Structure 1
Amino acid sequence: MTISGSCFCGAVTYKIEGKLRDARSCHCSMCRKAFSAQASAYALVEQSEFRWLSGEKLLTNYESKHGAGLQFCSKCGSTLCGTYKGMIHGVTLGCVDGNPDIALDRHIFVGSKALWETVPEGVPQYEELPPENA
């Protein structure tokens, strides 16, 4: 399966030769601020299956003191992927072009969600990380 993605202005593009996995919505305060939204929606990807096609020099990196980070377009501000200790870990589902053939399978860090947010029912919710990721 080939999945493509791009930023809002179209300057940065990527391709994934494989499948996304473990789609989730993170409600932690860090993701809320980084995405200016109630949560971030992203899926994990194998680094070996991911490749930048254009605009890689336009990427800006941010890494927290815990090693979790983001890469975003310095032109339009779109957050394209998440990193861990400098390595691509996942892609934001909002920047995937077309149908990635995946659905959110969990909501994480709902213990720190915004007070005004209602998390939909029917999908597993975790106060922090799921036990297998803790």
Structure 2
Amino acid sequence: MSITGECFCGEVKYQINGKLRDARSCHCSRCRKAFSSQASAYALVEPSQFSWMSGKELLTSYVGQHGFGLQFCKVCGSTICGIYNGEVHGVTLGCVNGDPDIELGMHIYVGSKASWEKVPEGGAQYIEGRPD
């Protein structure tokens, strides 16, 4: 199965030769800011199955102190993927084209969701991060 995705302006494109896994929505204040939304929608990917098709030179990154970060399109600002120690860790589901054959399985950090948000039914909900 091949999954493709792209940013809002279409300049940055990627392909995944495999399946997405462990889809989640994070409701913490940091994800609200990074995704400019009430929550993130994110799924993990096997780094060896991910490749950039075009626009890799248009990416800019924000990386935190623990090696986790996000990559954005410099042109349109779309949050495209998450990285860990320089490797793609997962993708934002909003930038995936078509049906990636995955559903959000959990909502994390619902204890710090925005006061105006109502978390949808379905999927496990965790006050903080998912228990290991």
Q: CA deviation at 1:8?
A: 0.6
Q: CA deviation at 1:36?
A: 1.0
User: Using the alignment, how far apart are the partners of 1:114 and 1:67 within structure 2?
Assistant: 26
Which residue pairs with 2:28 in the alignment? 28
| Pair 1:117-2:117 in alignment | yes
Q: Give the aligned residue type for 1:95.
A: C
Q: CA deviation at 1:24?
A: 0.4
Q: CA deviation at 1:86?
A: 2.1
Share of identical aligned residues, percent? 69
Q: CA deviation at 1:97?
A: 0.5
User: Using the alignment, how far apart are the partners of 1:44 and 1:25 within structure 2?
Assistant: 12
Which residue pairs with 1:104 in the alignment? 104
| Pair 1:40-2:40 in alignment | yes
Which residue pairs with 1:58 in the alignment? 58
The answer to which of 61-70 and 25-34 deviates more is 61-70
2:16 alignment partner, SS class: strand
Q: How does 1:71-110 map to 2 (within 5 A)?
A: 71-110=71-110
2:125 alignment partner, SS class: coil
1:55-86 CA-to-partner distances (Å, cap 9, x unmatched) read 00000000112322100100000111011222
User: Using the alignment, how far apart are the partners of 2:68 and 2:111 within structure 1?
Assistant: 19
Q: CA deviation at 1:121?
A: 1.7
Which residue pairs with 2:67 in the alignment? 67
User: What is the TM-score when the length of structure 1 is the normalising length?
Assistant: 0.95
Q: Give the aligned residue type for 1:80.
A: I
Unaligned runs of 5+ in 1: none
